[in-house]
Amino acid sequence: MQRKTPVVQIILNNESLDFVNIEMQEAGIVPFGVDFKNPNFAKVAEAMGAKGFRIEEPGDVKEGLATALAHRGGPVVVDAVVDPYALSLAAHIPFKVAERFTLSLAKQVLNGKMDSVIKQSNAMSD
């Protein structure tokens, strides 16, 4: 920050370690220790001397990113709040991965986490 380098960092803030979550499920494990209450990273950036922007609504992405990219006074952090259930899936999923993922979902249902399984399944079908 002392050099005022115009670097833009974008944080896709889903308040979880979602890739770790997915990897646990792919291994047939019920995810644990992956949900967090993240701070407002834009405010953290401001506290450290950088410029911070927080994007909370999809309709604000274009304007927010344009403003962040136009800033030349030093580093910028964009805290983009994203849906924790929106997943990016590969075009081809091996049978073994699908089998273990299904096993993990079944374990979650049996452990009383039906609501989160439904949210996750709905997000994957969108």
Q: Is the C-alpha dihedral spanning 75, 79, 85, 86 positive or negative?
A: negative
Residue 4 tokens read as: 């005022």
Strand spans (E) along the chain = 8-13, 51-55, 76-81
Handedness of CA 37, 43, 47, 49 (dihedral sign): positive
pLDDT of residue 41: 95
Domains of the chain as residue ranges with CATH:
8-125 (3.40.50.970)
Q: pLDDT for 14-37, tens place per residue?
A: 887 777 887 888 888 888 888 878
Q: What is the per-residue pLDDT for 122?
A: 66
pLDDT of residue 20: 83
Of the candidates 39, 34, 68, the residue with the CA atom closest to the CA atom of residue 51: 68
- Does the pLDDT at position 123 exceed 70? no
Q: Is the pLDDT of residue 1 over 80?
A: no
Q: Is this structure's pTM higher than 0.85?
A: no
